[in-house]
Structure 1
Amino acid sequence: MPAVRGDGMRGLAVFISDIRNCKSKEAEIKRINKELANIRSKFKGDKTLDGYQKKKYVCKLLFIFLLGHDIDFGHMEAVNLLSSNKYSEKQIGYLFISVLVNTNSDLIYLIIQNIKNDLQSRNPIHVNLALQCIANIGSKDMAEAFGTEIPKLLVSGDTMDVVKQSAALCFLRLFRTCPEIIPGEEWTSRIIHLLNDQHMGVVTAATSLIDALVKKNPDEYKGCVNLAVSRLSRIVTASYTDLQDYTYYFVPAPWLSVKLLRLLQNYSPPAADEPGVRGRLSECLETILNKAQEPPKSKKVQHSNAKNAVLFEAISLIIHNDSEANLLVRACNQLGQFLSNRETNLRYLALESMCHLATSEFSHEAVKKHEDVVILSMKMEKDVSVRQQAVDLLYAMCDKSNAEEIVQEMLAYLETADYSIREEMVLKVAILAEKYATDFTWYVDVILNLIRIAGDYVSEEVWYRVIQIVINREEVQGYAAKTVFEALQAPACHENMVKVGGYILGEFGNLIAGDQRSSPQVQFQLLHSKYHLCSPMTRALLLSTYVKFVNLFPEIQTQIQDVFRQHSNLRSADAELQQRASEYLQLSILASSDVLATVLEEMPAFPERESSILAVLKKKKPGRVPDNEIRTSKSPHPPNSSGTNNHNDSNNTSATNADLLGLSTPPSSGNTTSGGLLDVLGDLYNRNNSTPSNQQNNAKKFIFKNNGVLFENELIQIGVKSEFRQNLGRIGLFYGNKTQSPLHSLSLELLWENSTKLNVLMKPVEPLLEAGAQVQQMLTAECLDDFADSPGMAVSFVYNNVPQKISMKLPLTLNKFFEPTEMNGESFFARWKNLGGDQQRAQKIFKSSSPMDLAAARTKLLGFGMQLLDGIDPNPDNFVCAGIIHTRLQQVGCLLRLEPNKQAQMFRLTVRSSKETVSQEVCDLLSDQF
């Protein structure tokens, strides 16, 4: 405790010594209980306690609390200490309040009044104590009470520098808690000009505050750019003696330099009509790069750390601006020197920064010069995270000139690569092989090698991809059949290879059947030798291949029919295998050769559609994969067709879900062919989701699901597919024309005024929707704060010269931004108890709208977004859930309890949250659905 020695609180020192000398937990608890009883009696019975004694007892309570024991008294005595004029007493009072007082406490208004008194004090020490307390508590009440007071302190000419510094950091804390307190325009210029302050501590604190304000309102604070560049220029060109008090191991003001460089990354580079600012910034960056080349002024690690911190932030700004070719190349060369540095962290950071440089047209060639060193890093580095970064950089620097070499090196390393990065490497190799393939026989070889080397890590998207490319390119079909036939002859053949082989030979086995070594009989026996070693899903695919063989090779029809008749197929426990075997058997027996040729004809070319492999990779490593766009290509999986043309329809759902919206690579928004709505959405729009042709708006159903038909009438069908991650969401709306005439003047208007809580942006669509066609529109949503209503949309168009208008609600509700949270019973009920205040809970008792079905209630709660916690509530019929709502600036924990009363056909729903509005909004949203 800070005041023990200086104030000579002997009783506190003795108490701490007694606790430390306790031999057991029981002895410690006994001593603490004795002390608590003594303090309680002193507070209740002794009316003559002076400030020193109150301070001593409050210190003891603080110490007991820090040991992990609950303290339920002493708060008023701590508040009384705030009125003292003695620094040590006021300090202990503020410390106790900052640590122990709940923001919902009845004393909070009394505390606020004491803080206001100290803020108006002429004693800067008292003002600083008050500011530190406000920042430590940082509640919404504090923000509302002092949101206008602190900016006055911050810009006042009478305020001491040390108080300005604390005021800037305090206001930053409150702004992060409550962004609504952002100061008005009259404060903007005065806050920005703090960057010109003479005191470096004030400038450092103000830079952090301005950086946060800029992210909220960049246009209003754009004037900070000139001042930030000017201040940075003065620091960079200063010697360590000029800023002696703020020089760290011969580096002038490194922390302020880093903050200024980060602040400048919020804006695009200075415009050409500002040559002075642009030139001064370039000069600063060049000076930082020059200083990095100078011999170190100290051998201590602190010097190199500070110097490199500024250097890497400067390089980040160079990459962000992406406008000065000379600076980009120099930055690349500087980073290249770090690739051989002894420090692991430096090598990691160098590789990470070079990944971004590789995406710039100015520095891509400079990055490629370090290819050999990067390949060596991938193979030889001891730290797996550095090896991961080396793989990322190889992926980023790859182009037509070095694609084959990089892919070959990555394939070679894949055999010994860490298990944690194999799946990501497989995706990257597949993407590079397709993007830079000039000869698709090479692409086929690469993918088959991938399956051979790392079969367990080859996702379905990859082998779907090679099938689709082979089907769409006649020139590679014979080579693919021959290559996959040879690959299947390996003694140990991965199941993914069997899938690829089964599909390709079923389609193009006739192209190699002329060779005795790959005759129809040999092909069939080779595939069937793998049959009993495969999963039911792969067996189903092979059965489809066999029935294709019936059409391609009538001479082996009898053998194939015998396989269909086998007891293990016709009587299989797997319904899919059983159905395929029986149907294919009857088809091969009853159908004529012409019917067989029609039903079992070769798969048609897949329609043009965006690749999903790149999106899958970005989802696995968001923010770490450069936007290495892959060419628009065919559908990555077999279409959802019925009958025998679908080799793997048992697995179509997983294939469709692999990239619901391409969150990282937006799908094209052009028109598709007729019947496109079901084609785009796949079997997500199954019979259970279908709607009659009369007008229907199904917005309420989407509280519990993300995909389906949102609206339908006799003219238009509107489908939706959405995906949410933390506070961000992406929604795809599909407008399908059900008529035989085009829809003209298609116009979409967002009906939403509460953009301060939910920010929704939507892309425009073409005004003409052809007959039977479909157009896709993408919307993005960001949850800024909790909200109660859902945005609306007005859809207008003209059909046969008659204007039509549809109004509907979008499937954007608060629960979409839930993150499920696992909790055990003890944690749940402890948290439930802590959130017991009237301001933290909401409750509704309501009658079930239909006969009570607990299974249906469970299904709804599973789709609501929270984590359903089984086996926690003592009553097995009750449901309890936990989740966290993500907004831009905060995360709000939320607990839910649904208690059904079967006899009365009633539900009692209780929601508890740290934020009152969230509790009420979640309660209202869910109760309407039962």
Structure 2
Amino acid sequence: MAPVRGDGMRGLAVFISDIRNCKSKESEVKRMNKELANIRSKFKGDKTLDGYQKKKYVCKLLFIFLLGHDIDFGHMEAVNLLSSNKYSEKQIGYLFISVLVNTNSDLIKLIIQSIKNDLQSRNPIHVNLALQCIANIGSQDMAEAFANEIPKLLVSGDTMDVVKQSAALCLLRLFRTCPDIIPGGEWTSRIIHLLNDHHMGVVTAATSLIDALVKKNPDEYKGCVSLAVSRLSRIFTSSYTDLQDYTYYFVPAPWLSVKLLRLLQNYNPPTEDPGVRGRLNECLETILNKAQEPPKSKKVQHSNAKNAVLFEAINLIIHNDSEPNLLVRACNQLGQFLSNRETNLRYLALESMCHLAQSEFSHEAVKKHQEVVILSMKMEKDVSVRQQAVDLLYAMCDRSNAEEIVQEMLNYLETADYSIREEMVLKVAILAEKYATDFTWYVDVILNLIRIAGDYVSEEVWYRVIQIVINREEVQGYAAKTVFEALQAPACHENMVKVGGYILGEFGNLIAGDSRSAPMVQFKILHSKYHLCSSMTRALLLSTYIKFINLFPEIRGTIQDVFRQDSNIRSADAELQQRASEYLQLSIVASKDVLATVLEEMPSFPERESSILAVLKKKKPGRVPENEVRESKSPVPNHNNAQNQNHATTNKISFSNHTSDLLGLSTPPSQQQNSQNTLIDVLGDIYNNQSSSSSSTAVNNAKKFLFKNNGVLFENEMIQIGVKSEFRQNLGRLGLFYGNKTQVPLTNFQPVLQWPAEEGKKLNVQIKAVDSTLDAGAQIQQMLTAECIDSYSDSPSLQLSFRYNGTPQNFTIKLPLTVNKFFEPTEMNAESFFARWKNLGGEKQRAQKVFKAQIPLDLQGAKNKLSGFGMQILESIDPNPDNLVCAGIIHTQSHQVGCLLRLEPNKQAQMFRLTVRASKEQVTTEMCNLLVDQF
């Protein structure tokens, strides 16, 4: 209130002083009620109040409200202040309105009219006050009332810079309330060009606005990329005097730089223009170079601003993931921060290096810092930094350093904070399995995990070691011996008893030849733990005992006595009672052959993906690197073959069981749903793009599927659509995986195929129905079959509609069913190729296009694309070694179309000449159209 007191309102100053001098709550309320009564009487009875007096009394009401008391009068007087020409009076009126007026108030129409008057004023101070009030309230009514005025203010050439700045921020606030407020068309270009404004404050505010608009409609605002790069380039090449007003502790325009770098991360890649990409890389290199320079100031503000820009630049480098030199330099720069005395810098460096470790270009550079990261895990004072170090060790682990990292994590686990132990156990288990060259090492690691942190070993972990042992004969004897030795410890965790009971029940006979592990010794060691365990573990041990009767008939009587004990056969636990009585009768009644058949060794588990990885992804969504661990179904601990085996539900489903016979020779995979309410990684590469699971930007990857069959087709903040497909001759089948990324069900879920009837005669597509509700965090699968009857152009679309929180959503996505999917690569020698090439020389049998390369020429990349396109690359055919020559046959139901292709690069001109020859004109045209957009 100091500025107001300086305005000469002595009565307000006295009232505030009186309130502060009150000795008790009662005296404060009494003084306040007295003042409220006085103000009320003035507003009601005194018709001669001038603007100054109204302002003073409104200020008192504001002060009372800020002390926590309700104010139910004075609103009309505040509205009247809006029409004053004095800045101080208008300011107080707007302040009162912004704080106390409800958007449903009857006064809102009067307020809107007063604001409109001020927006049309020639006084920029009044316009600014009006814009700030609109932004503070930000209601739907405000958005509708000023949808025309504010955009005009923003782009008008007559508007002052300070007003433009406020208009951009005001429009951003209203856009968040009402996304349709901003018009499209020509307005898009005018808003984008605010990035070129001479006033840095306008550019800073406009960047925030454009960033929000890009997230909603990235394609419409893609023109902002080149302007953002240009502005960045100017910032880092300007002298101190050029940006003196916007230089913060020797760092030029740090806030604007960070905003521009974040804006560019909405696109991947940000640009395909070689010139713009070159300028952007120069900017990023400049930022990395400045980070190496000695600091120009010792003050913390300088380092904070400098590092804010640096880390955002590194985020953009990681997001692009296309410049090896920049990625390695970023990694080296972050490595220097690992020993910095600032805790926040060490944390941010570890976090960024986790992302760098997932790039093929910088993974090896990250590994060079392994010793420092291990030291951070052990010695850091801050638990969050220690946890980040564990994350980085997990991300940088590969086959060359797995044993060392796993051992270090095991050593640290004994003294690790309780808050991170469970997560560390999961990571150690995943790494041990993923990089195990000798599964005896894997068994040792898991048993050590149980010994060190048994309370934090989940069922998924100990299930997994059993699956490994059952599926790998070479490790069964070692596992039985190792777990037998572990059970001899006086204090043995219950999870160790479960693993020991399961493995000895299956493979105890492999170590029974040694007198130290004779059948009776095995039984006594297990039974010594029996009364210390929970009823679930006892049930498992009873199953182990009946297995022992089959493996070791000589101890049958001893085990039958255990079954007969009152604590078992008359147990209050129904499960224990039933098992004891049934197992006892089975051991008495069944013949030796029947017993051997019923209690035979468990069969191998079918290979499936790891449920441990799914648990870890659920704990840290979007931050777990892709893992190659594959898993069989989780076993239940009750391994009695006499009963139905209900294997524990896994968190993963695998499509691979059906890919060997995708085209109808086996039953297609049924619709499946995740019971754990977490999205399922059904595809090998669905989570490769980390930015897309956390960004609200819609990502449509349809074009990328020209060269691949599996991956993420579409993703936004609500849904992810993955594809896995296979093609054989003129037949194909696609599995579409719809994943609900939200915490609420998607209702009225309906994917509809869009494909004109005339095109359906050339490509017959059949789609299976799915449930109309997609539960929160769940995933369902939909199957499509395709039959190519004749050559065709374009590809079918999928119209997806559903309701999210009652709001209808609609998306149209191109399906990856272009005609090249039905290619069969064909080998040819030079003589056959050129003879065929000459025969296809008719005007309707050839098509040729000359075009400029969208990215710098990369012959190996072009070769990979043509191979992914489906054609056979013919080596040493063309006299020019740079030319790429391909051959293939398109299979249709009615005929086969031979197709030859020649791609001639001109490195100097950065141009391509593409020539396609085929026996059908439509094929040559379509092949050219498909490929030109991709080079």
Distance 2:499 2:315 in 1: 44
Q: Structure 1's 808 and 451: CA in aligned 2 closer, same or farther, altered over 3 A? A: closer
1:702-757 Cα distance to aligned partner (Å, 9 max, x none): xxxxxxxxxxxxx99866446668xxx7899xxxxxxxxxxxxxxxxxxxxxx999
Structure 1 unpaired stretches of 5+: 675-679, 681-714, 733-754, 769-773, 797-802, 818-883, 890-930
Alignment of 1:792 with 2:791, yes or no, is no
The answer on whether the counterparts of 2:449 and 2:457 sit within 8 Å (CA) in structure 1 is: yes
Distance 1:787 1:144 in 2: 31
The answer on whether the counterparts of 1:611 and 1:633 sit within 8 Å (CA) in structure 2 is: yes
Distance 2:505 2:101 in 1: 73
Distance 2:144 2:725 in 1: 47
The correspondence of residues 714-793 of structure 1 with structure 2, limited to 5 A, is: 720-721=673-674, 762-763=721-722, 778-781=737-740, 790-792=748-750
Shift of 1:151: 1.1
Which amino acid in the other structure matches residue 504 of structure 2?
L
Aligned to 1:493, the other structure's residue is in SS state: coil
Distance 1:623 1:583 in 2: 48
The answer on whether the counterparts of 1:540 and 1:576 sit within 8 Å (CA) in structure 2 is: yes
Alignment of 1:35 with 2:35, yes or no, is yes
Q: Structure 1's 316 and 117: CA in aligned 2 closer, same or farther, altered over 3 A? A: same
Q: What is aligned with 2:183?
A: 183
Alignment of 1:245 with 2:204, yes or no, is no
The answer on whether the counterparts of 1:783 and 1:886 sit within 8 Å (CA) in structure 2 is: no
Which amino acid in the other structure matches residue 512 of structure 1?
I
Alignment of 1:419 with 2:381, yes or no, is no
Alignment of 1:810 with 2:772, yes or no, is yes
Distance 2:203 2:65 in 1: 37
Q: What is aligned with 2:629?
A: 631
Distance 1:624 1:343 in 2: 24
The alignment covers a number of residue pairs equal to: 737
Q: What is aligned with 1:405?
A: 404
Q: What is aligned with 1:442?
A: 441
Alignment of 1:464 with 2:470, yes or no, is no
The answer on whether the counterparts of 2:430 and 2:629 sit within 8 Å (CA) in structure 1 is: no
Distance 1:570 1:813 in 2: 44
Distance 1:584 1:280 in 2: 77
Q: What is aligned with 1:703?
A: none
Distance 2:676 2:631 in 1: 23
Shift of 1:598: 1.4
Q: What is aligned with 2:583?
A: 584
The answer on whether the counterparts of 2:715 and 2:721 sit within 8 Å (CA) in structure 1 is: no
The correspondence of residues 382-531 of structure 1 with structure 2, limited to 5 A, is: 382-531=381-530
1:654-687 Cα distance to aligned partner (Å, 9 max, x none): x52x73xx5xxx753753999xxxxx9xxxxxxx
1:641-662 Cα distance to aligned partner (Å, 9 max, x none): 9854678x6xx6xx52x73xx5
The correspondence of residues 612-631 of structure 1 with structure 2, limited to 5 A, is: 612-625=611-624, 627-631=625-629
Which amino acid in the other structure matches residue 544 of structure 1?
S
Distance 1:722 1:182 in 2: 42
Alignment of 1:671 with 2:658, yes or no, is yes
Q: What is aligned with 1:743?
A: none
The answer on whether the counterparts of 2:718 and 2:742 sit within 8 Å (CA) in structure 1 is: yes
The answer on whether the counterparts of 1:329 and 1:362 sit within 8 Å (CA) in structure 2 is: yes
Distance 1:805 1:312 in 2: 46
Shift of 1:4: 2.4
Q: Structure 1's 542 and 177: CA in aligned 2 closer, same or farther, altered over 3 A? A: same
The answer on whether the counterparts of 2:560 and 2:584 sit within 8 Å (CA) in structure 1 is: yes
Percent of residue pairs identical? 80
Q: What is aligned with 1:307?
A: 306
The answer on whether the counterparts of 2:436 and 2:442 sit within 8 Å (CA) in structure 1 is: yes
1:774-821 Cα distance to aligned partner (Å, 9 max, x none): 99752134669x99962235799xxxxxx999867512489999xxxx
Q: Structure 1's 621 and 109: CA in aligned 2 closer, same or farther, altered over 3 A? A: same
Q: What is aligned with 1:564?
A: 563
Q: Structure 1's 130 and 301: CA in aligned 2 closer, same or farther, altered over 3 A? A: same
Which amino acid in the other structure matches residue 750 of structure 2?
G
Shift of 1:211: 0.8
Shift of 1:74: 1.6
Aligned to 2:737, the other structure's residue is in SS state: strand
Shift of 1:374: 0.8
Aligned to 1:671, the other structure's residue is in SS state: helix
The correspondence of residues 31-110 of structure 1 with structure 2, limited to 5 A, is: 31-110=31-110
Distance 2:270 2:221 in 1: 14
The answer on whether the counterparts of 1:603 and 1:645 sit within 8 Å (CA) in structure 2 is: no
1:60-107 Cα distance to aligned partner (Å, 9 max, x none): 111111111111222222112111111111111111111111122222
1:582-625 Cα distance to aligned partner (Å, 9 max, x none): 21111111111122111111111111211111111121122333
Q: What is aligned with 2:887?
A: none
1:5-28 Cα distance to aligned partner (Å, 9 max, x none): 232111111111111111111211
1:425-466 Cα distance to aligned partner (Å, 9 max, x none): 111111110000000000000000011011111111110110
TM-score by length of 1: 0.74
Distance 1:43 1:423 in 2: 66
Q: Structure 1's 756 and 409: CA in aligned 2 closer, same or farther, altered over 3 A? A: closer
The answer on whether the counterparts of 1:22 and 1:28 sit within 8 Å (CA) in structure 2 is: yes
Shift of 1:182: 3.5
Q: Give me the CA root mean square deviation.
A: 3.4
Aligned to 2:339, the other structure's residue is in SS state: coil
Which amino acid in the other structure matches residue 60 of structure 1?
K
1:550-588 Cα distance to aligned partner (Å, 9 max, x none): 111111111111111111112222221122112111111
Q: What is aligned with 1:119?
A: 119
Aligned to 1:633, the other structure's residue is in SS state: strand
Distance 1:816 1:93 in 2: 51
Aligned to 2:488, the other structure's residue is in SS state: coil
The answer on whether the counterparts of 1:153 and 1:167 sit within 8 Å (CA) in structure 2 is: yes
Q: Structure 1's 610 and 814: CA in aligned 2 closer, same or farther, altered over 3 A? A: closer
Shift of 1:147: 2.4
Distance 2:778 2:421 in 1: 32
Q: Structure 1's 730 and 48: CA in aligned 2 closer, same or farther, altered over 3 A? A: farther
The answer on whether the counterparts of 1:371 and 1:394 sit within 8 Å (CA) in structure 2 is: yes
Aligned to 2:109, the other structure's residue is in SS state: helix
Distance 2:715 2:397 in 1: 42
Distance 2:129 2:311 in 1: 36
Which amino acid in the other structure matches residue 749 of structure 2?
P
Distance 1:66 1:888 in 2: 41
The correspondence of residues 206-245 of structure 1 with structure 2, limited to 5 A, is: 206-245=206-245
Which amino acid in the other structure matches residue 780 of structure 1?
G
The answer on whether the counterparts of 2:723 and 2:734 sit within 8 Å (CA) in structure 1 is: no
The answer on whether the counterparts of 2:540 and 2:637 sit within 8 Å (CA) in structure 1 is: no
The answer on whether the counterparts of 1:431 and 1:630 sit within 8 Å (CA) in structure 2 is: no
Distance 1:185 1:45 in 2: 55
Aligned to 1:790, the other structure's residue is in SS state: strand
Q: What is aligned with 2:330?
A: 331
Shift of 1:487: 0.4
Aligned to 2:738, the other structure's residue is in SS state: strand
The answer on whether the counterparts of 2:464 and 2:631 sit within 8 Å (CA) in structure 1 is: no
Q: What is aligned with 1:152?
A: 152
Q: What is aligned with 2:875?
A: none
Distance 1:438 1:395 in 2: 18
Aligned to 1:778, the other structure's residue is in SS state: strand
Distance 2:286 2:186 in 1: 36
Q: What is aligned with 1:295?
A: 294
The answer on whether the counterparts of 1:94 and 1:129 sit within 8 Å (CA) in structure 2 is: yes
The answer on whether the counterparts of 1:151 and 1:171 sit within 8 Å (CA) in structure 2 is: yes
Distance 1:388 1:813 in 2: 32
Distance 1:816 1:461 in 2: 20
The answer on whether the counterparts of 2:539 and 2:638 sit within 8 Å (CA) in structure 1 is: no
Shift of 1:507: 0.7
Distance 1:758 1:280 in 2: 31
The answer on whether the counterparts of 1:269 and 1:278 sit within 8 Å (CA) in structure 2 is: no
